[in-house]
Amino acid sequence: MAPRRTTLLALTTGITLLATAGCSSSFGDGGDTEQKTGGKQELTVLIGTSGEAETAAVRAAASAYEEESGNTVDVQVASDLNQQLGQAFAGNNPPDVFYVETHQFANYASGGSLYPYGEHITDVEDFSATLRQSFTYDDQLVCVPKDTSSLGLVINDDLWEQAGLTPDDYPATWDDLRRVAGELTDGSVTGLVTSSEYQRLGAFMRQAGGWITDPAQTTMTADSPENLQALEFVQGMLQEGTWKFATEVDAGWAGEAFGKGTAAMTIEGSWLAGALETDFPGIDYTVLPLPEGPAGPGTLAFTNCWGVAQQSAHRDAAVELVDFLTRPDQQIAMGNAFGAVPSRESAAADYLAEHPGTEAWGASGDGVQGPVTVGGFDRVVGQFNTDLESLRTADPARILADLQSYGEAALGAGN
């Protein structure tokens, strides 16, 4: 047990130092950057893309903005978004506008890297409240979400029918899921294949009535009976062989296993649609809400925000660009291009109405859980994900106890 305690000490010490450094240093502190306000503005946008369809959609929207505003926009695609942003901030030369991932948001916000512009966006209350909360720091909406997706249960229609199942068998509860996964598992086909990350398994924690922190993200709640019940349920199916992680079926991710037909079901977001259309066209599939757990429905919401650099010399124009990119018509156009559900509730309603059968990917309400956005917490969830890789044979209670300890260190340093 001693080596594990050493690992815990090293990680918690590292989290404390990282969060303290992020809060106290001048990293990303733009100060009073002189603003360029006259004439044509030249903006740089850095994105991390899901593929060619997303890149083309962002560039098309940027071109439309150029025509309307007279400004120019250079859209650049990052090979490693977080690394390139970190280097740009450290070199005092960040892009004007860029994607910000939820798990990095608090690190950037606490370091003064982000210009808080939320109050300047048109009809900002139209953005999902859950998503707005993900990008709120010190009670201020710093940036607005560019799009969203929640998790759905995706089934291969052909494999479903071959197993003798009908729409009446669509799983509504955990017990239903366990039953149909068993009936679908046959030879090279596994009933359910997912990634091992908390970004998938965490949905079951939510369905059991648990989560990693309290809603205010000030208290860890990982080491709870509800979360233990969720991990034990997943572990049971893993041990039965009716649920496998993507790495166990020789797939780079669960979508690949689903596309190859070695997974009869998977749990993914709307990005799966674009991936299947590109890499595995012709597959007939159905998207369902995740089965309900003991505490009711639960799913996870994912998004990035449009960050504006505090150091940018074009902040007004950058905010104007973000306002344009998040108009309902632009969000719907991007959704049509690569499957992203609009983050504006009005646009999401129109988009989902135009794409019947995808409603589960646009879930909203009390059962939708956003990620933890506390400075330094990316290291905590990184360790949690590492521990979850061995969930089939590991002790779920120990995994949660370690998560509780790591998280308490991060919350203590990041709040």
Domain check: are 171 and 37 in the same one? no
Residue 256 lies in a domain: yes
Domain check: are 190 and 242 in the same one? yes
Can you read off the two tokens belonging to residue 161? Answer: 């029918």
Domain check: are 137 and 154 in the same one? no
Domain check: are 118 and 216 in the same one? no
More confident residue, 34 or 41: 41
d(CA 160, CA 147) in angstroms, rounded, equals 31
Question: Residue 200 is part of which domain span?
Answer: 150-301+376-414
Number of domains the chain contains: 2
Radius of gyration of the chain (CA): 22
Average pLDDT value over all residues in the chain? 91
Residue type, 328: P
Domain check: are 319 and 337 in the same one? yes
Region of 78 please: left (phi>0), alpha (psi -120 to 50) or beta.
beta
Domain check: are 253 and 180 in the same one? yes
pLDDT band at 415 (very low <50, low <70, confident <90, very high): low
Pick from 180, 205, 139: which is nearest to 369 by CA? 205
Domain check: are 100 and 233 in the same one? no
Domain check: are 47 and 78 in the same one? yes
Can you read off the two tokens belonging to residue 20? Answer: 């303290």
Domain check: are 288 and 400 in the same one? yes
Pick from 47, 53, 141, 52: which is nearest to 100 by CA? 47
pLDDT at 25 over 80: no
Residue 21 lies in a domain: no
d(CA 292, CA 365) in angstroms, rounded, equals 14
Residue 61 lies in a domain: yes
How much is the pTM? 0.85
pLDDT digits (tens, 9 = 90+) for 43-71: 999 999 877 888 999 999 999 999 999 99
Residue 342 lies in a domain: yes
Residue-by-residue DSSP string for 1-54: -HHHHHHHHHHHHHHHHHHHHHHHS-TT---SPPPP-SS--EEEEEE--SSHHH
Q: Which of 4-8, 106-110, 247-251, 331-335 has the lowest mean pLDDT?
A: 4-8
DSSP bridge partners of 97: 45, 308
Domain check: are 246 and 383 in the same one? yes
Residue 100 lies in a domain: yes
Mean pLDDT of 152-174: 98
pLDDT at 23 over 50: no
pLDDT at 407 over 90: yes
More confident residue, 270 or 306: 306
Residue 266 lies in a domain: yes
Domain check: are 395 and 355 in the same one? no
d(CA 381, CA 196) in angstroms, rounded, equals 12
Mean pLDDT of 337-356: 93
The pLDDT assigned to 19 comes to: 45
How large a percentage of the chain has pLDDT more than 70? 92
Domain check: are 224 and 115 in the same one? no
Residue 280 lies in a domain: yes
Which of residues 338, 353, 369 is at a domain's end?
369
pLDDT band at 31 (very low <50, low <70, confident <90, very high): low
- Whether 405 and 223 have beta carbons less than 8 Å apart is answered as no
pLDDT at 120 over 50: yes
The CATH number covering residue 61 comes to 3.40.190.10
Which stretch of DSSP H or E encloses residue 316? helix 315-325
Residue 102 lies in a domain: yes
